[in-house]
A and B are shown apart, each in its own frame.
Chain A
Amino acid sequence: MSGAEIGLALSVFLACTVEAVEALTIVLAVGSTRSWESTMLGVGAATLALAVIVLALGPALTSLPIDVLRVLVGGLLLIFGLQWLRKAILRAAGLKAKHDEELTYAQETAAARAAGAPPPRFDPYSFAISFKGVLLEGLEVAFIVLTFGANQHNIPLASAAAAAAVLLVILAGVAARAPLARVPENAMKFAVGVMLTSFGMFWGAEGAGASWPGGDAALLAIVPLVLASGLAMASALRVPAGVPAASPVTTVSRGPSA
């Protein structure tokens, strides 16, 4: 496996783990409060929709000329990666609230109870909330799978990394029977932001006609540079001890997340 392929698999795995943890919180909250059957139907439908998106757009992307693909994918990854990195830096510095899966779980559970008693057979509420949660969380992963995978002409590897992450989170969720609150979400988001930004910079410049010194080996300098810049910015912005940091954030069932 080449360095770029390891980067691809690692980025997809980390991104997918973070999103799957957030989706799991919603699924657990709705399923345990209302109807597991309808919740799992929603999860299945969303997973199918995501698979269709990857299967439909994958071949279209991989058929683009390599330079067009690289500048397009590089630009998109850079825009996406800089957003992930900016938010991870602000969270690490205490200027932006971190996700709190236990709080999200409590709020989703309260909302599910407030929606009234579930019907005896199919529960539209459970279906809709789990479908929306999984689809919106999964869209970011599908985007990363498609862009990384298409550029490396290895969508199967990207899909396998995503599937491994989902499986791991499901197993951990089944074992814990609770939201995975101890997963270091922000550190993982920081890492994903670094990888997306680094690969986006590398591929975008190559697609635009530049040649990196050392070819693929330039990534060995780009990744540490982006990581060091991010850490330096987080350190420079860190809220001093004694000043309250931003209060926790809850998300997911109502919009694309992270």
Chain B
Amino acid sequence: MRRLRAFLAGAWDFIVGDDWRTALGVVVALGVVALLAQAGVEAWWVMPPAVTGLLALSIRPAARGSQPAARTDADTG
């Protein structure tokens, strides 16, 4: 059980990383596309503003606090 939990925590950390809001935003954006497409509405236009918006939101915390501490651990990307 502990190993499974450690594996799931590792997988979460590997895929979602330190910004779960971006991951949630991607899921929501794709969900909106799926709903619109199922309703027969053009849906491709949802993604460009959604993605650029998510990117802007994800860098906002760093932009607000001017000097983040130097990092010594490791992360994705």
Contact = CB atoms under 8 A, between A and B. Distances in A.
Interface of A: 71, 74-76, 78-80, 82-90, 95-97, 136, 139-140, 143, 189, 193, 197, 200-201, 204-205, 207-213, 218, 222, 225-226, 229-230, 233, 237, 239, 243-244, 246-252, 254-258
Contact of A80 (B38, B63, B68, B77): B77
Most central of B46, B71, B72 by chain A CB within 10 Å = B71
Interface in B24-61: 26-27, 30-31, 33-34, 36-38, 42-44, 46-48, 51-52, 54-56, 58-59
Contacts of B15: 76, 79-80
A185 to B, nearest CB: 11
Interface of B: 13-17, 19, 22-23, 26-27, 30-31, 33-34, 36-38, 42-44, 46-48, 51-52, 54-56, 58-59, 62-63, 66-77
Nearest to A82: B22
B62 A96 contact: yes
6 contacts: A83-B17, A85-B55, A90-B59, A209-B34, A213-B44, A251-B73
Contact of A208 (B23, B30, B70): B30
B72 A229 contact: no
A74 B59 contact: no
B37 A255 contact: no
A211 B44 CA distance: 6
A85 B33 contact: no
A222 B23 CA distance: 20
A208 B34 CA distance: 5
Contacts of B58: 82, 86
Contacts of A76: 15
Contacts of B13: 256
A247 B59 CA distance: 19
A136 B26 contact: no
Contacts of B19: 82-83, 86
B52 A96 contact: no
Nearest to A255: B74
B77 A83 contact: yes
Contact of B71 (A82, A96, A222): A96
Contact of B37 (A201, A210, A250): A210
B63 A95 contact: yes
A246 B59 contact: no
Contacts of A213: 44
Contacts of A97: 70-71
